Amino acid sequence: MKRFINIVLILTFAGLCACSKASSDLIVSIDGQENNITKTDYQKIEEMVNVDDEKDYDLLLEYLFYQYDVKVVEEMDILQGDTKTTFQWKDIADSTFWRNVSSLEVDDEEYLVDKIILRTGGDAKFEKHSITDIAALTSEALSIPFGEKESGFSIPSGSMEHVVWIFLDGFGYEGYQTAEEEGFIPNLSIIGELYPAYTIYPPKTSTSTAALLSGLDSRENGVWAPGIRDLTVPSIIDAVVDSGKHMTIVEGSSTPFNYPNAEIILSGDRNGDGSTDDNVFENAQKAIAEGIPDLIMIHFHGIDDAGHTYGPYSLEWNEKVSEVDRMVGQLIEQLPEKTLIVLFPDHGMHSIVGDSSLGTHGNLRLDDMGIYIILYQK
């Protein structure tokens, strides 16, 4: 009989354990809105990021916040019992990892957390548009079927004969604003209408390009981590080609993403001046002169490269911005009538203190996530 009581006690105790397990969930409060994060939620997000069995990605905590559509984080409180620790997101964004449901690593320190309180930032003016609008806009302008989504821009359907994408790598909204104030972009600042927008998370070239081509957010298009180079959803390139039209992509020395079906012109740094932009410019001029394709993407990498190496707003960055501005001005002059010109960056950039690099991007902060779309109908 005593033995039976023991078993009952053990069972009761096990039952209690199962109950108290629920408290190992993580509560995330975003601007006062509480969300309960379970082990299953963690596993789902972890699997989406660690898609490559060969590599093991650290899971940045930002992936969790982006699930709730957070674009910019200002501050985070970590609650452990009665202890509260406050962090400025800019200081820790890149060194805050999600190790398990309620286990975090912040700046090499482990924390077992009861609750996270997040204060977001950004600006409502960025909410109206997204890098994911550009595919729909292009399909509308050329009157080709693509996806369900509307771009939110008012370009009459089929009103354009050509669409030109001028892809200004790493030249985000804040970079653009600063360059305009300093007078470095006399051409860009008078071309067409500028619409503030957000890019997707993580704000990196490959992931943003996937969103650009698919018209879908990184949470929807399967390209959620750097290192994935193929889309598993339809791309605007396929839609253009399926409509019997032609797309050309003028790239630097390599392609950051795979572009099946497009004609790719790799430019390289032929004159060895340390930049591919002048070569991209020449190849773009040539492609336009030889009979402009229905859709052409011209990818200037130099502002991003200068930003990484010398830092955004450095002398070298300023010079590169001015140079790209001149090239874009000349290209636009060369373009025929009935062309829709779409200028946009894939993401922005922020300064860092480093040995080999003074700029980077990839976090939920406004200088990385804030972009723009400039439209000009020629």
List residues near Zn ion by CB under 5 A: 169-170, 205, 304, 346
Residue at 310: amino acid letter: Y
The DSSP bridge pattern shows strands 162-168 and 339-344 to be parallel
Place of tokens 């019997």: 244
CB of 190 to Zn ion, least distance (A): 25
Smallest separation, CB 361 to Zn ion (Å): 6
**162 versus 308: smaller Cβ distance to Zn ion:** 308
**295-300 vs 247-251, strand pairing mode:** parallel
Q: Which regions of 276-345 does DSSP assign to beta strands (E)? A: 295-300, 339-344
CB of 363 to Zn ion, least distance (A): 12
Phi/psi of residue 129, nearest 5 degrees: -130, 160
Is the Cβ of residue 296 or residue 306 nearer to Zn ion in the bound state?
Answer: 306
CA-CA distance, 139 to 150, in Å (whole number)? 9
Shortest distance (Å) from residue 74 CB to Zn ion: 23
Task: Tell me the two tokens of residue 165.
Answer: 């994408």
Q: What's the length of the chain?
A: 378
Closest residue by beta carbon to Zn ion:
205
In angstroms, give the least distance from the CB of 304 to Zn ion.
Answer: 4
Listed in sequence order, the DSSP H helices in 22-108 are: 39-49, 62-67, 89-92
Residue 139 or 205: which CB sits closer to Zn ion? 205
Minimal distance in Å, beta carbon 307 to Zn ion?
7
Which CB, 292 or 342, lies closer to Zn ion?
342
Tell me the HSE value of 121 on the side-chain side, using a 13 A CA sphere.
Answer: 16
If the CB atoms of residues 133 and 169 are measured against Zn ion, the closer one turns out to be 169
Contact (Cβ atoms closer than 8 angstroms) between residue 367 and residue 349: yes
State the sign of the Cα–Cα–Cα–Cα dihedral 183, 185, 186, 190: negative
Q: How far is the CB of 168 from Zn ion (least distance, A)?
A: 9
Q: Are 215 and 200 in contact (CB under 8 A)?
A: no
Q: Between 215 and 362, name the residue whose CB sits nearer to Zn ion.
A: 362
- How far apart CA 162 and CA 338 sit, in angstroms, is 7
* DSSP 3-state of 270: coil
Of 170 and 370, which CB lies nearer to Zn ion in the complex structure? 170
